[in-house]
Amino acid sequence: MKESLKILAVEDETAVAQLLALVLCGPSCRVTTACNGAQALEKIAAASRPFDVVITDHQMPQVTGLQLVRELRAHHFGGKIAVLSAHLNEKNVHAYEELSVDLMLSKPFDVEELRHAIEVLAREDSIAA
């Protein structure tokens, strides 16, 4: 039996983090939340099994989404990376593209669009495995 999809949602707004967990959590999916990039890196390092998908906000205190993605790439993170932000200007989009993120969505986001995008990313991952 395939293990459940492991998602890390990195979001400094508690209500948005709870919404992500509620929307994405299901019988085949486990969602862990982190309130900023620094906490996300701690949770990634402490995880017994690697996360399949990291969804991160861009603008956060301490470690931004861009800094988090740079760290993940530097440490050869093998999962998918999605950026969910209200602050995706041309410069940020270009920086994330250079880091080969798998998905960028602007806030406010459509819940079904996000759920579908994550399902597609998960399928791509299972096909590659």
CATH code of residue 87: 3.40.50.2300
pLDDT digits (tens, 9 = 90+) for 56-83: 999 998 899 999 999 999 999 999 999 9
Query: Is 86 within the bounds of a domain?
Result: yes
Q: Is the peptide bond before 61 cis (omega within 30 degrees of 0)?
A: no
Counting the structural domains of the chain, the total is: 1
Look at residue 101 in the predicted model and tell me its pLDDT: 96
Q: How confident is the model at residue 120 (pLDDT cuts 50, 70, 90)?
A: confident
Domain presence at residue 64: yes
Question: What pLDDT band is residue 50 in, cutting at 50, 70 and 90?
Answer: very high
Compute the average pLDDT of residues 87-105. Answer: 92
Q: By residue range, what is the domain housing residue 57?
A: 5-123
Residues 15-25: what's their mean pLDDT?
89
Query: Considering the domain boundaries, does residue 128 fall inside one?
Result: no
Three-class SS of residue 30? strand
In this predicted structure, the answer to whether residue 128 has a pLDDT above a threshold of 60 is no
> Is residue 53 predicted with pLDDT exceeding 60?
yes
Would the pLDDT of 85 be above 90?
no
Q: Which residues of 7-35 are buried (b: 16+ CB within 10 A; e: fewer)?
A: bbbbbbeeebbebbbebbeeeebbbbbbb
The answer to whether 44 and 69 are in contact (CB under 8 A) is no
3-class DSSP state of 120: helix
95 inside domain: yes
